[in-house]
Structure 1
Amino acid sequence: MNSLVVFMFLIQFAVYPANVFGTENETKVVGSTPAKITITTDQAVQLVKDNFTIPTKYTRLSTGYNDYNNRATYSLNWNSVDQPSGSFNAQVDATTGEIINISQWEGPFQSAFRLPVLSEGEAEKISTALVTKLVSKHQTEIQLVKDEQQGFVLDNAQPFTYNFHWIRLVNGIPFPGNGLNVGVSGDDGSIRNYNLNWTEDLVFPEAKNVILPEKALQVFMGAPMLELQYYIPQMMDPQSQAPQRALLVYQLSNKYCGGAIDALSGKPVTLDAQEGAYQTMVAASTVSTGIPTEAMSPEITTPGHNTSEATQISRDEAVEIVKKMVNIPSDLVLRGSNLNPDWQNPNEQVWNLDWNNQPSDMGEFSFINARVNAETGDFVGFGMSSPANSGDKSNPLSRASAQKLAEGFLQRVQPDRFKLAKLDTENFSGGETSENIQNFHYVRLVNGLPVSRNGMDLTVDAVTKHVINFNLNWSDLNFSSPLNVLSLNQATEQFLHIRPLVLNYSQIFHQNGQQEVRLVYQPNTDSNMYISGMLDAQTGEPVDWYGKSLSQWAIPHHYTDIQGNFAEKEISIMGLAGAFGEYGDTFHPNEKLTVGSLLRAMLIAGGDGRDRDLSDEDILKIAKDRNWLQEDLKLGSYINRASLSKFMIRLINMEASAQIKGIYNVPFVDAKTIKSDSLGYIALAWGLGILSIEGDYVQPDKTVTRAEAAYALVHTYAVELPKNYYIK
């Protein structure tokens, strides 16, 4: 899709404020409206005020109106005129008066974590009361999902929020596509966010003559729902010099709607290319193919490329390459060029070239933008404006003819790669498009297997009979042989062990705007944000979009052995952050703390969730790079109070203050036992509330327990620092 098409698409859904000066006059609706608008803007404002507390400092109100998919809504936005900044936003259905969503944000960013006052149970009572009040008519049709995966990081500028999710039930069967979400502030119980997603007038198939789960399992295994493919992970850090890699994975096929099986017919729910049905949420980024396996080599690389050459082509050379591939009209002038990393492959440099006609020219604005790989000279993409008044609109190309035109273009500009690609017939369009615009995706094949996020995309204007968009994404990587992988049956059994089939209603959207609900068996998501649609084809381990094993995520824990402990609240917070998870859902609060356990907890609490799977060497390197660890300590060593104080003070970058001599004094009987190089750290840690010390003795050499460490780490993040300090 070229940039002009994207711009026009966005314009269709823009919502403009009808009032930006804080008065609450009624919004005027221009143009066509839904059948019934029963409430005014003022009434919508009052509904929000009656059900939510809007901070008094948000004095500037702006309102807007939107009509989309036959649903009329008001948008209401309260903002702070003065510092500190912040906003409270709401959306109200103009027909039913239902509050659809609210959210609030406050600034400036806080310099400290705010220890929640409310427990999770208290927050749940508040959210349940709100849901009962706002959607009482749906009370018997919703079910609270106990989301065991709610987590957070302590290094967060916004208040800690407890999140709760309800799903819609129809005939007692879950409909995960509809439901409610409520976020409750742990600070004061205020509602931080609320979202109601409820589609009316849907037709739900009756749950009669439903096939047995055993039959659904048989169909899932026989389809098959999983396919073997190469997956190129998303890059966590685009600036990283680490090479990209291609993983062999089993993934849910795009041919089916997230592995769905119709519970009435017993057949897989397929994406019908003729009707253009598609589902909004399916597992990522590949296609189903029926390709015969080619001769497999132990390792295969991208043909004909040498990315190690230091020499890059000049801009003029890139221009000449484009002119050989695309006709540049004489009235278009090259007005812009830049050399930047390719957004698809950040380790490669690409020339971006822009031609357009004179802005002062009367008539139609025309443009062509093109991209050329600066190292290989490859023509990797272009987009052009499509003339509005040219071509025979009464005789547009058929899809078959448009495909022939597209393939002729590929044979000319990428003949070698075209031989290594296959038309993706399962997912040719990303949504509703004009019949005069035909989109095609050719997926790259290696060893007869599809390669995710690799291939060629084209758009054909069926009226002007031109290719108006082309994009090549063809990574220069090594691809290992697929000989030593799990069998399809083994992979499917492992996948269903992790995500067993469940019965629910699933919503499917059609390109003509129609919606359909099917009663299906499909792999369980369990409201789990860490759920995976891919398995490592060699180990059977679930992997995420970054190609990382899900075991590397710091999964939140609800510890079962901390009730009554002095640090129960702090340990619970660390559990939600995923820290100290060595023993699963038991914490072992009185166990002695090791250096390794503390350092991992420090990393995870600050948001480095995947660091739980780092090696000991990696942990030590990170701790030394961040100046947390300056002593010669082994990861298995126990930590005393003096060492814990040093770790915590270094975490908040206050070591320079701790090292000032002659200014610190502590009121402990055994103060003289504190070594001079530890006194400043202990004094600061005690004075800032980081250390939990009962009685008159500090005992600097006393070994710290895991409970004491959890208390210290939470209260370290709760220290309110000057604005020029930061936690790294």
Structure 2
Amino acid sequence: MKKKLSIILCSTMLLSSFPMNIHASEIGNPIISPEASVSREASAASEPTSENLKKITSTVKGKVSIPKSFTNFDYHYNTKDNYGAASWELIWSNSKETERISVMCDEAGNILNYYRFSENQYTRSKPKYLKSQLQGKAEQFIKKIAPAVAKKIKITDSNPVSIYSGQYTYSYIRMEGNIPMPDNGVRISVNYETGEIISCSINWLYDITIPSSSAVITKKEATEKINDKVKMELAYRAAYTTDKSGKTTARAFLVYEPDKDYIAVDAKSGKVYLTKNEYVYNSDSFTEGATRDEAASEEKNAGSPLTDKEIESIDKLNDLISKESAINKVKGEDNLLIDSNATAITANLTQSYSNNNEKNFVWNINFTDPRDLKNESYRAYANASVDAKTGQIISFYASVPNYYDIGENKWNEVKVIYTKEQGQTTFENFLKKQIPSYYNKSKLSNTEHDYIIAYKEQNPVYGGYRYNYDRVNEGIPFASNGITGSVDGVTGKIYRYHYNWDENIKFESSKGVMSAKEAFTHYIGKEGYDLVYEINTIYKLGNKTVKTYDQITKYEVRLVYRTDINPTAISPFTGKQLDYNGEVYVKETNYSYSDIGSHKAKSAILLLADMGVGFEGSKFLPNQKITSKEFTTLLTQLGYRTEDLKLSTTAKTITRTNGVKALITLAELDNVAKIKGIYTTSFKDQAQIPKDDLGYVALAQGLGIVNGTTFRPKAAITRGEAAQMIVNFLKADIK
């Protein structure tokens, strides 16, 4: 079928090819990290033994129904590690291994993940049940496998699903009394054709102390504390639109956003938390400097190499600089780090297009070490891109030496000579020479350490500095555009340089923006700022006298006022939340209508609503004639490509014949429908159906897309009829 391939479909297709030993947790949809899902008391239990396995298997089979045909049994034991407790994975499958059930549980038998796989599971499902009809079945399953969990959950997700997924997914949040605990919950999926449970992921702390729900600090007091710690920053965000000709237009819109991703206030002590996950990493690890993969990821899109004849022609037409000149532009910059051994040089000319479809020509130059090195642990390289018209260096990336001696298992003695300030001066002098206009419209946003060259007394010694500059307009940062670069503290040379800059972009004026104080008032008043229980995860280092460190994880639940506000962007003019494209954010909800109570197409209308398909507003108007554009919109919402359906987008109505022809075309049966002299229908008014259209109508009747005693070929389709026809089409047995 001519459908848009969705990400959901891609992921589910991949799942069908997973090996048998895949963890159920990799298939489910964890709400929090796996380590917070298990009983800590259980995780400290015994080593895997046959007795333990028998006990776990018996416990799980008491909760999960295993078909008699699933005669194969396999298992895996995941030992306790630095990040999580021990767990069992039990796998039952049929003799042909075309179906299986995988269950992951902790050592106490608490189920963490359930997943049922069948070979034909990810073929196109035909929607049969409404989402509301299967919710009870989902909750019965949760009650069966985790009765203690089922008593303390509340459904939170009622969003529509994609037609490609073949299932409804229900999300539940943990509740302690009337207070939500969003870091714990359940996510369960049910096939909407068969009603079968496909997966269930339970993230739960079982043996944890829950503080009392009495808050000492009021919400108003918490708000004041958050206000003291949070700064609302005025910034530009980018939005891109592409027209039918492929031309992309960029605009920069203004937003206020908080400078912290997370902040919470303890409801009992008033303490302000800026993190709920504390990590300390093993300092024995080392970084060998920048890698080749890292270099590749930072290169600009090189485009397609050109032939010598193409280059010769372009040289004449566009007055491009020669390859030698481009190479010399890079080699002539003394501040760039190019290893003296990287003497093999190649270059190719490519062409690419800017966001505005303007043709650009770029020389891509590579420097490599050609020597035949034995026991190679480091080989120098560098690459650069140069504007073939101006000679301006667009980007540069070079390797830095590897200071770790693998053979001696130690760090080489290296001295960092240049300071962060000296590196900044070097880099900025380079920018002033290469891209002065861009540099003058940029502002240093942050600096950070780059690669590690050694460890001293278990503390990392950094060998480089990274500098990030944001583009500014009217003094306001535009982080989507900017310049980044890195300078080596050992040599004082630049080893990374890149910029991203939209030449033709329209900036929204900052005239009339509200103050940051006003913006905070709007922000903190949005949905998502509430009193909640949250889980604080603590990672501590083990014994410092030994080389290998254990990460001991501890969990604590605390009562806090937390800002789970999403999206965080606030319009500086209206105070309303904005989406990624700068439009006023509208929370996604299922379509709901007040005028379909007794209509014969009610079930079809509701089924489409569960798929996220329908019309805006509180009324569906089922008896109103549907326009061609509305009919196309419904199909587009389902993910179908409608460009080739030849339906007018300006016509006020669409006939039943044209509607049927569109659906048969989507089914890729139009060539079959055009065969003459073989079709007939049972419709009493078949004589009124044009001969050229009879095949389409006959196929539609045979597939159950249309039914009844008459067809009425020239009659306009109503909205209700369109909904029923489309649902019938989705349910049709079309391969």
TM-score by length of 1: 0.70
Aligned mates of 1:574, 1:86 — CA distance in 2? 30
Aligned to 1:280: none
Separation of aligned partners in 2, 1:337 and 1:88: 55
Query: What amino acid is aligned across from residue 591 of structure 1 in structure 2?
Result: Q
Counterpart position of 2:612: 578
- Show the counterpart of 1:671: 686
Deviations 1:305-343 (A, max 9, x none): xxxx97776766665555434333344465887778999
**DSSP 3-state at the match of 2:338:** coil
Q: 1 CA distance for matches of 2:58 and 2:68?
A: 15
Instruction: Give the distance between the partners of 1:174 and 1:332, measured in 2 at CA.
Output: 60
Which aligned pairs between 1:494-533 and structure 2 lie closer than 5 A?
Answer: 494-496=522-524, 498-499=526-527, 501-507=529-535, 519-524=559-564, 531-533=566-568
Give, in whole Å, the separation in 2 of the partners of 1:251 and 1:643. Answer: 49
Q: Could you say which residue in structure 2 is the equivalent of 1:721? A: 734
The residue that corresponds to 2:444 in the other structure is 422
The CA distance in 2 between the partners of 1:462 and 1:96, in whole Å, is 53
1:72-93 CA-to-partner distances (Å, cap 9, x unmatched) read 345667899989x787655443
1:544 corresponds, among 569, 579, 587, to: 579
SS at structure 1 position matched to 2:185: strand
Contact 1:443 1:456 in 2 (8 A): yes
Number of the residue aligned with 1:378: 393
SS in 2 for 1:246: strand
Partners of 1:257 and 1:146 lie apart in 2 by 22
Structure 1 residues 122 and 483, CA, compared in 2 at 3 Å: closer, same or farther? Answer: same
Secondary structure of 1:534 counterpart: coil
- Higher mean C-alpha deviation, range 348-357 or range 663-672: 348-357
Structure 2 distance, partners of 1:373, 1:547, is 34
> Secondary structure of the equivalent of 1:650?
helix
Contact 2:257 2:569 in 1 (8 A): yes
Determine the structure 2 residue equivalent to 1:215: 221
Q: What residue is the counterpart of 2:667 in the other structure?
A: 652
Q: Partners in 2 of 1:486 and 1:472 — Cα distance?
A: 31
**Is residue 153 of structure 1 aligned with residue 186 of structure 2?**
no
> Following superposition of structure 1 onto structure 2, how do residues 191-210 of structure 1 map, counting pairs within 5 Å?
191-199=197-205, 207-210=213-216
Question: What is the distance in 2 between the residues matched to 1:18 and 1:648?
Answer: 39
Which deviates more, 435-444 or 589-598?
435-444
Q: Is the 8 A contact 2:403 2:414 kept in 1?
A: no
Counterpart Cα distance in 2 of 1:381 and 1:201: 54
Q: 1:468 to 1:137 in 2, by over 3 A?
A: farther
What secondary structure is seen at the aligned counterpart in 1 of 2:395?
Answer: strand
Q: 1:559 to 1:565 in 2, by over 3 A?
A: same
Aligned positions of 1:273-352 closer than 5 A: 319-323=327-331, 324=333, 325-332=335-342, 334=344, 351=364
Residue aligning to 1:101 = 113
Contact 2:169–2:188 at 8 Å: present in 1 too?
yes
Question: Which residue matches 2:402?
Answer: 387
1:571 CA displacement: 1.5
* 2:161 counterpart letter in structure 1: F
Matched, 1:133 2:147: no
Query: How far apart, CA to CA, are the structure 2 residues paired with 1:205 and 1:466?
Result: 55
Question: For residues 564-615 of structure 1, what are the alpha-carbon distances to aligned partners after superposition, in whole Å with 9 as ceiling and x for unaligned?
Answer: 543333212211222222224x4333333232322211111227xxxxxxxx
The separation in 2 between residues aligned to 1:721 and 1:70, in whole angstroms, is 46
Aligned partner of 2:591 in structure 1 is 557
RMSD: 5.0
Alpha-carbon distance in 2 for matches of 1:429, 1:675: 73
2 CA distance for matches of 1:378 and 1:202?
A: 58
2:501 matched to 1:451?
no
Q: What is the aligned partner in structure 1 of residue 186 from structure 2?
A: 180
Aligned residues: 622
Aligned amino acid, residue 336 of structure 2: V
Q: Deviations over 1:538-569 (max 9, x none)?
A: 56554333555545x97532445444543333
| Pairing partner for 2:676 from 654, 661, 665 | 661
Equivalent residues in 2 for 1:66-105 (5 A)? 67-74=81-88, 91-93=104-106, 95-103=107-115
Written as runs of structure 1 = structure 2, the 5 A alignment for 1:228-243 is 228-233=234-239, 241-243=247-249
The CA distance in 2 between the partners of 1:236 and 1:520, in whole Å, is: 44
Q: For the Cα contact (< 8 Å) 2:344–2:367, is it kept in 1?
A: yes
Asked whether the equivalents of residues 337 and 494 of structure 2 are also in contact (C-alpha less than 8 Å), the reply is no
Distance in 1 between residues matched to 2:653 and 2:262, nearest whole Å: 48
Tell me how far 1:229 sits from its aligned partner: 0.5
Match of 2:650 among 618, 622, 634: 634
Q: Partners of 2:325 and 2:575 in 1: how far apart?
A: 47
Mapped contact 1:252–1:258 kept (Cα < 8 A): no
Q: State whether residues 372 and 379 of structure 1, in contact with CA within 8 Å, keep that contact through their aligned partners in structure 2.
A: yes
Alpha-carbon spacing, 1:173–1:232, altered in 2? closer, same or farther (3 Å): same
- How far apart, in 2, do the equivalents of 1:402 and 1:274 lie? 30
Pick from 233, 255, 259 the counterpart of residue 227 of structure 1.
Answer: 233
Provide the secondary structure at the position in 1 that maps to 2:136. Answer: helix
Which residue does 1:411 correspond to in 2? 428
Gaps of 5+ in 1: 1-15, 21-33, 278-308, 526-530, 608-621, 723-728
The answer on whether the counterparts of 2:661 and 2:697 sit within 8 Å (CA) in structure 1 is yes
Match of 2:3 in 1: none
User: Residues 489 and 339 of structure 1: is their aligned pair in 2 closer, same or farther, counting only changes over 3 Å?
Assistant: farther
1:534 alignment partner in structure 2: 569
CA, structure 1 residues 336+249, in 2 after alignment: closer, same or farther (shift >3 Å)? Answer: farther
- Measured in 1, the distance between the counterparts of 2:705 and 2:373 equals 66
Q: Which amino acid aligns with 2:83?
A: N
| 1:536/1:331 CA distance change after superposition, 3 Å | same
5 Å-filtered alignment, 1:14-93, equals: 36-39=45-48, 51=64, 53=66, 63=76, 65=78, 67-74=81-88, 91-93=104-106
Say if 1:544 and 1:86 are closer, same or farther in 2 by CA, change over 3 A.
Answer: farther
Tell me whether 1:699 sits opposite 2:712 in the alignment: yes
Residue 442 (structure 1) aligned to one of 462, 468, 493? 468
Distance 1:688 1:112, change over 3 A: farther
Shift of 1:183: 0.8
Given that 2:570 and 2:577 are in contact with CA atoms closer than 8 Å, whether structure 1 keeps it comes out as yes
- Which has the greater radius of gyration? 2
TM-score, structure 2 normalization: 0.69
Report deviation, 1:698: 2.2
Relative distance call for 1:673 and 1:710 in structure 2 (3 A) is: same
CA contact (8 A) 1:239 1:346 kept: no
The 1:184–1:464 alpha-carbon spacing in structure 2 relative to 1, beyond 3 Å, is: farther
- Worse-superposed segment, 407-416 or 57-66: 57-66
Query: Aligned partners of 1:555 and 1:546: how far apart in 2?
Result: 19
